[in-house]
Structures are given as structure tokens and as C-alpha cells.
Amino acid sequence: MRKTIKVSNITCAQCAKSIESYFETMDDVDAKVLVTSKKVIFNYNEEKYDEHALGDHLRIIGYYPIFNNEEQRRAKKKDIIDLILAAILTFPLLWTMFKHLGIPIWVPDLLMDGYVQWAIATPILFYVGRRFFVSAYHQIKGRNLGMDVLVVIGTTAAYIYSIIETLTYDEHASHVMPELYFETTAVIIFMVLVGNFFENRVKEKTSDALQALISLGAKEARIKRDQEEMMVPIDQVHVGETMIVLANEKVPLDGIILSGESYLDEAMITGEPMPAYRKEGDRVIGSTMNTVNTLYVNVTAVGRDTVLETIIQTVEDTALIKPRAQRIADRIAQLFVPVVVVISILTFIAWIFLVGGGQPIARSFAPAIAVLVISCPCALGLATPTSIAVGSGIAFKEGILYKGGEFFEMANKISAVAFDKTGTLTKGHPELVHIEGQEQMLQIAASLEKHSNHPIAKAITEAYQGDLRDVSSFQVLMGKGIQGKMGDDDVMVGSPNLMKDMGFNTKAFNATPYLMQGNTVFYTALNGEVIGMLVVADPIKPSAKGVIQELKRRGLTPYMITGDQELTAKAIAHELDIDHVFYEVLPHEKAEKIQSIQKEGKIVAFVGDGINDAPALKMADVGFAVGTGSDIAIDTSDVTLMHVDLGLVIKAIDLSLATLKNIYMNFLWAFSYNIIMIPLAAIGLLNPSLAGIGMGFSSIMVVLNALSLKLFKFKYKTEE
């Protein structure tokens, strides 16, 4: 069972590590955290757990699950109350900070009193800042030290030191005010909360695509039960029940039309702008819009089995992708906090020995705390998920679903792209492309073919728009054609071999040029005389040639791998200017062909759509599945193209490169920030309170840089 639970207080990658580590110790449950959208994806044994039991476990380790809109509203309200309370209590202490910095500003004597500052700082640290203590406890327990540990160490150290100074200060023995750091404790907590507040608002924008996807789904379905119609929540509908979908309503769930016909707007799923005609027996997809007539639909999929839910799961899983650079950063982050604590201690010791004059401990305390506070492992943890979340959102709007984690690293290494032919380079369904003969010929052919369900028969009947004639004595000649009677006339549509077997003369029609192009030729005969020729072909997709030319321009080698006959394969390859062709290849041999290309030292991408393409998609370094193809092909691919436009292959590669570049920019910022700021804090150039501002700023910068991906423009445009 898969379940996604929203968690209100996930702030960084260390939170994710704490949650994942906790559930790793439990049997039959796996947890993965989406930091950017503050969600935990659970895969669990539903006989042992339910969502509320998982929620209880989250609360045990200090994280607060949200199961409904009311809980989410309360969580946001609680955060705002904490922020307002921190602001109110921090302001008077912030006022005293300016005095400590030597700025000539009037401050009431009452506020300079250590006991008053102690009283103000206490609720800030232990009430407003309680979340940091809870998270730090579980981070230490799980040995995944993060930002919360640094905040707790820094603020608590400042708080305890200030208490000691307050209690030991003798105003009669000394006229020098003690160095107090209560304001440091308050300002750090306040600034981290402010940083988290803005960071959360910015993060919400990184998951726009996922929120848009979720909002597509209907909340209720009109179900017929016990001869009555009733509105039922989506999660209470069962497979096999009958949905009633009125005009201008969303189709709630996937199903098969039992009765009725209508036009459905499927643009949000297929990208096609024109509504699609759907009738009895046709499949409908949940979240599409019924525009004309009432439909009665048999439910075939619910919950996570629906097309929309599958897409949502894919987008969620994409955010979990960790390229090699992020995996290295995660290992660095694990060592980060202990190293920072050591640097802070060494800074404190160095200042004690290097600082002359009085109060060496007091003057050594500020830079040591500043080192703790300015350090931020959050930026490292956010570098990948924020960029991938934004990149995946852009990709989805174009009709691209990233699935495999390796794709982001492999995209710039691809040197060869292999294509399946039928349904990938071609449209995958035959069309009538040429007609020769008498005027009545097409009417005769269409009237005969109407009685056949063969794909070629459908191509001929779709090409004729007039009235059909009645046919009697209809007979299918397996593998050759069909025959029948129209009144007193004998009529026949069939292959050249059938005409030859019947002894009919076809010399009036020159089929050779069409056969050389790999097309299929049929003849129409009336009373033993051939009166016309029909040429049927599987047309090349309009975008195919432009994509092949663009690949060649970029130095990538295109291949075609097909089970079709040599003549047809070579004709298609010649038209598309593909130099490397493998034809008459059996399904299991496609993977072998991919392997042979790889042995030449090439990094191979494969684009396919059928069940027979699944082995090749798995064997290739990167697999692209055309979304109109089989579920098996889509499941084994790294990238799913939801539209028929092959230009999405180019766009998927370009966007992945832009996303990877953005990730590296995030890492550059995160590392540069810490490399520069920690030494500045150590030599005393950063006040601890200002360091608190800098810590929040570093994470916000990473998220803002990720959002800059939204400015990405695709250079390649499909030319129809």
C-alpha cells in the first residue's frame, strides 16, 4: 500500500534523514521524504499499519502529520503565532543588542537588567523554540545531526552563559556591565523562524505542478447503487461500479463506456487540444472533461491504479532522485555538524589565548556561537530536491515525465539514440495515402471493408465519406483480402497475390514505386476486372524528420530498430535520413542490438512504445517511452513522453541538462557560503545575531535559484 502524508515541520534534508532512518528500523514499511513539498511517501503492509498508525510514529519522533485541510490550517496558524510571539519578545532584546554593539542609542535601564532579559529570553528559547529541541533530540538519537542541533547548541550556550554572568554579577564590586547574550538566543530563534517562514512560502512554488495535478482529480463520483444515483467520495468507489458522468462534468475515475457517446477534453492528460470522440466500449481517463452528452461508465481503476494517480506518483518519485553530486553532499552533510562543533570549540579556545585585556571568556564567546549559527547544512540538502521539483514541473507542462534517477546524469553523455519504428517514428496506424482508378472504386472498397475489423479495413472506410452500398455473401479470404456481392455484381478487394491467384490483370496500375517505399497495395475488382488501386501506409510522424536532423546536428547518431521487413524499414530510414537500420528484429533481439551499439563505446538512448520494446528500454542507458504505448513499456522506461511529438526527446534532454546545471549552481552557493562565512565568524567579523539571519538566507537563496529554472526557454521547436 502506498500513502503520502503531509508533515508540517519538515524543513531540511536532515529532517528527511531522521524520518527515513526511524522507519528503516521497522518491518514492512518504507518511508521516503519530499522535502520541497513537506511530504512523506510510505509504502507499507496494510495488514500491519494504517495511515493513523504511521502518523503516530511520526509524532513520536517530533513530526506533525496533517491528514486534512483543518489540520493544515491549524499548523499554519500555530507557526504564525510562534513567529508573532517571537517577534514581540525579541524586539526589546534586539533593542539592547544595539547598545552592546556600541551604537549610541537610548535604552531603558530596565531592559539592560540581566534578570529582565533572562525573563524575556526564557519563553522564546523553551516555548517558541521547543521545535528545535525536539528535532535536535531525534537527530542526535538517530545520529543524523543537522541545523537544529547547531541552533540548540548555540542558543543554549548563549542562554546558560548569560545566566551565569547575571547570577555572578556584583553591581557594588564592579561598574562594568556583564557581557550578556540573551538577545543572541532570542534573535537567532526569531531569525530562523523568519527564514523558515519565507523558505516554506518559496518552496510551495517549487511544487506547483504537483499541486496542479492533484487539483485535476474529482472529489466525488455520481454512482448508481440499488437503482439509485448518489454522490460518493472518490475513495469509496469500487471497481465494477457504474459511474454516471453528465455533460460539463469531470470523469471521476478511469473506466469503459457502457452506454452513450460524447466528446471528451483530454488535453490535461494527452496534450491534444481537440476534444476526442468517445463511444460505447471506449476507455475514458479520470480527470478528463465530458463536454456534450451523459455517459454511463464502468469503473476499471480506483486509487493508485488510475492514470492520474500514476502520474502523480511518478512526479513525486522524481523529487526523490539523487544524482551522484547530491549523494556526495549527503555524506558531507553527515560530517558537517560535528566538524562545525569542533571548529566552534577551537575558535573559543583560540580567542581565549589571543584576546588580551579583561573578560577573555566573554569576548571569546560571540565568535564561537557565530560559527555554530552561521553554518547551515540545509542548503546542501536542498540543492537537488528543489531544482528537480521545479524542473519536473516544467517537464510535466510540456508532456514529459522523468522517472529514472540516472537520467539527469546520463543526459549529457548520450551519443546515440535508437528508435522503434511502428508507433514511434510512424503514427502506428495505417492510412490510405493514394487512390487510382474508377470513381466508384473507393465506394465499393469501403462498402466491403466495413464488414472487417482489420486496421487496414478501418483506414479505407475512414477515407470514404459518402454513402455505402449493401453487401451480401461477404467472405474473408484470410491473408489475402475480402469478397462479396453488391446486387448482381461480384466485388473483391485484395492483395497483388490474390489478384494473381484469381487471374486478374493489374497491369493498368503501376504498384512498383509504392512497394519500393514499403507501402501496402490493394486492388479493387468488379466482375473480374481490376478497376482501381489503393495504397495504404503507416505515415511518418510530422515531427520525426526534424528530430533526426537535430540529433545529427548535435553529433548524436540515430538508429532504427524494427521487426518490419527490410524493404519497408529501409524506405522509412531513407526518408528520415537514418543511416543505421536493424530490420526483421524479434522483440528479445532488440535488447541485443542495443547492447551491440553500447559495445562500440556509445551511451545509448532508446525510444519505443510497445510491449516488444520493454527489453530494449531496460537495456538502454536511457529509455524513452511514448506515453500512448503499452503500460509495460512505460513502466520500464526512464522518461515517459505523454504526447506523440518526438521533439519531446530533445526537450527532455535539454531540460535535464538545465536542471543539472541548476543543481550544481546550488552546490556552488552552498559550499561557497560556508567556506566564506565560517572563517568570517571565527575571526569575529560576524555578530551571532547577524549569523542567524545569514543561516536562513542561505537556504532561501538555494530555493530562489531553483525557481530561476522557471525562466528556462526551450531552444528546439518542433516543425510540423
The Cα 63–Cα 9 span in angstroms is 6
Rounded to whole angstroms, how far apart are CA atoms 524 and 441? 7
Dihedral Cα 529, 532, 535, 536, nearest 10 deg: -80
Report residue 428 as a C-alpha cell.
502506428
Strands 529-537 and 481-486, by their bridges, are unpaired
What gap in Å lies between CA 228 and CA 220, rounded to an integer?
A: 16
Q: Which of 265, 420, 613, 638 is catalytic?
A: 420
Q: DSSP letter at 564?
A: S
d(CA 587, CA 542): 26
Give the type of residue at 79.
D
Q: Is 486 helix (H, G, I), strand (E, B) or coil?
A: strand
Count, residues in the chain: 720
Rounded alpha-carbon distances, angstroms, from residue 225 to 161, 230, 243, 364, 399: 71, 7, 10, 76, 37
Give residue for cell 513537506: 38
The three-point CA angle 697-186-344 to 5° equals 65
C-beta neighbour count of 12 within 10 angstroms: 24
Ramachandran category for residue 423: left, alpha or beta (phi over 0 → left; psi -120 to 50 → alpha): left
CA–CA dist 650, 646 (Å, integer): 8
Grid cell listed for 676 = 566564506
Residue 677 CA to residue 417 CA, distance in Å, equals: 46
Q: List Cβ neighbours of 346 (8 Å cut-off, separation of 6 or more).
A: none
Beta-carbon contacts of 359 under 8 Å, excluding residues fewer than 6 positions away, are 179
Q: Taking the chain, what is the end-to-end CA distance rounded to the nearest angstrom?
A: 44
Measured over the CA atoms of residue 616, residue 621, residue 626 and residue 630, the dihedral's sign is positive
Does 317 participate in catalysis according to the annotation?
no
Q: Reduced to 3 states, what is the DSSP secondary structure of residue 532?
A: strand
What are the helix (H) ranges across 355-469? 360-374, 378-398, 407-410, 441-449, 455-463
Assess contact for 422 and 573: CB atoms under 8 A: no
Which of 38, 183, 33 lies closest to 117, judged by CA? 183
Within 8 A by CB and 6+ apart from 191, the residues are 689, 692, 693, 695, 696
Catalytic machinery residues: 420
